Structure 1
Amino acid sequence: MPMPDHLFVTTGQSDPGDHPAADQGEDLGVLLTRALAQADKTQKDLAAAANVPYTTLNHWVAGRRGTSRVDPEVFRGMAEVLRRWGADVTVRQIFAAIGRPVPGPSDQEREERLLRIYRALSTERQRDLIRIAEAMGRPTAS
């Protein structure tokens, strides 16, 4: 099943929370399994509540599918659902588990401004801007 388009956008706020498990290298599958056990919920429950296809969530838990192209809002939504259910999990933990930095806040005005700038560039400069933005989005070596 292809991932819905809404899963591939990159905006949102960060969560200042931190958790020792994430610092110890807890991967996404382990983190979600732990959080679901704390909440006494299933993967199907989380998939439905977070609007993520069950097969996708199941593949993430099993480590059979990557997360690099997934909209950060999907992970924020999962954290929100899990916290609402009483699980001890933060947005920062989830992003640490997938090896990505927590994206900074964004708003519609800044996104529209960036789009106007992009549209005013030549095709070659648009490609350059995309390469630069992709490089900026890659995790840095620590």
Structure 2
Amino acid sequence: MLLHVDDLAELIERVMRERDWTLTTLARRSGISISTLHSWKSGDRGTGTRGPSPALLRKFADGAGLPVVEVFEAAGRHVPVAMDDESERRFLHLLRSLDEADRKVIEATMQAMTERQRT
């Protein structure tokens, strides 16, 4: 069952209730600090306006035994898609062919796109 967007706190509560886990157990299983999980559970998020990082959301999904998509959607985040090896190789080849000034433009553009997807 997928929760509505921005229901990370409800997802944490559901995991704890269904598995009969404490926040400490969830923290230990996911490798995320209790304080971080507590801030997510309280709706505070604890990471500024950007919300939880993709890396922490993946750790939470793994530790809770949930699909990554469910966790990202509950956090109101765009679900990153893995890049296959060949696509990554082509992308890096193109990036390396640019001069430093153009690389900085590409980096800034990618950063702006990433930030846009977080909102």
Using the alignment, how far apart are the partners of 1:82 and 1:122 within structure 2? 44
* Preserved contact between residue 6 and residue 76 of structure 2 (Cα < 8 Å): no
- Identical positions, percent: 28
Gaps spanning 5+ residues in structure 1: where? 1-18, 84-88
The correspondence for 1:46, drawn from 11, 18, 26, is 26
Aligned length: 115
Alpha carbons of structure 1 residues 114 and 55: separation in structure 2 relative to 1, 3 Å:
farther
* Preserved contact between residue 43 and residue 54 of structure 1 (Cα < 8 Å): yes
- How far off its partner does 1:39 sit? 0.9
- How far off its partner does 1:121 sit? 3.4
Tell me what 1:74 maps to.
56
- How far off its partner does 1:140 sit? 8.2
The correspondence for 2:68, drawn from 68, 80, 91, is 91
Deviation per CA, 1:5-63, whole angstroms, max 9, x where unpaired?
xxxxxxxxxxxxxx34x23x452111111111111112221222211122122112112
Structure number with the higher helix fraction is 2
Using the alignment, how far apart are the partners of 2:60 and 2:118 within structure 1? 24
* Preserved contact between residue 29 and residue 61 of structure 1 (Cα < 8 Å): yes
What's the TM-score, normalizing by structure 1? 0.62
Alpha carbons of structure 1 residues 135 and 47: separation in structure 2 relative to 1, 3 Å:
same
Across the aligned residues of Structure 1 and Structure 2, the Cα RMSD in angstroms comes to 2.8
